């Protein structure tokens, strides 16, 4: 398992200094029912906008 998860979405609640994701878990899904073939066909469902 990855020790550090990098993220550049600085308006996310879980974004931390050094582009580190501070979420306890990461949930990534595909756009389609089939297997993703490119990065663009995936989404991070862990994202929560920073208030």
- Annotated domain spans of the chain: 1-51
Which residue(s) pair with 43 in the sheet?
29
Tokens of 20: 């580190």
d(CA 43, CA 25): 14
Global pTM reads 0.80
Q: How far is CA 35 from CA 30, 32, 43, in A?
A: 7, 7, 13
- Non-local CB neighbours of 22 within 8 Å, separated by 6+ positions: 14, 15, 16
**What pLDDT, on a 0 to 100 scale, did the predictor assign at position 34?**
79
Each residue's pLDDT expressed in tens, for the chain with a length of 51 residues: 778 999 999 999 999 999 999 999 999 999 877 789 999 999 999 999 998
**What pLDDT, on a 0 to 100 scale, did the predictor assign at position 3?**
82
């Amino acid at each position: 398992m990855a020790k550090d998860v990098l993220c550049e979405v600085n308006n996310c609640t879980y974004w931390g200094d050094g582009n580190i994701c501070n979420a306890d878990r990461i949930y990534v899904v595909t756009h389609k029912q089939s297997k993703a073939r490119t990065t663009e066909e995936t989404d991070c469902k862990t994202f929560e906008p920073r208030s």
